[in-house]
Amino acid sequence: MVQKKVTALSGTLLDEQCLLTLSELCRACELPAEEVMALVEEGVIEPASGKPTQWRFSAVSIRRVQRVRSLKRDLGVNMAGAALAVELLEEIERLRARLKRLERER
């Protein structure tokens, strides 16, 4: 008999309307506040309000931060390069989604 290894995953599902505080984003991404602030300065993520104590981030920020971390870790890309790469990857995703919609309309 062949045994299969089963891995259980757990997490929290966030919708795009959900807003996270700086500390919540730090916990979700496992990063210190200083690194998240550097991502804000670089334009990778954008808080909804002015002061860091009042910052609120969309749930999409988690994905962007994770992508930047992967680019830096796996490819050795610096922060500015990772920020640009994330923008380009998201643009590709938007264009592919648009192309699929147009193809379905035919």
Structural domain count of the chain = 1
Closest of 14, 3, 86, 4 to residue 57, by C-alpha: 14
Whether the pLDDT of residue 74 is over 60: the answer is: yes
In-domain check, residue 68: yes
The residue written with tokens 């962007």 in the block is 64
Condensed to tens digits (0 to 9), the pLDDT of residues 17-36 reads 689 999 999 999 999 999 99
Q: Is the residue at 95 inside a domain? A: yes
Residue 50 located in a structural domain: yes
Q: Which residues form the domain of 101? A: 19-105
Domain for residue 70, yes or no? Answer: yes
Residue 13 lies in a domain: no
Position 14 in a domain: no
pLDDT at 15 over 90: no
For residues 63-74, average pLDDT: 93
pLDDT value of position 52: 81
Q: Determine the Cα–Cα distance for residues 60 and 14; give it in Å rounded to an integer.
A: 9
Q: Is residue 1 part of a domain?
A: no
In this structure, are residues 55 and 45 in contact, taking their beta carbons and an 8 Å threshold?
A: no
CATH of the domain at 48: 1.10.1660.10
pLDDT at 101 over 90: yes
pLDDT band for position 10 (cuts 50, 70, 90)? low
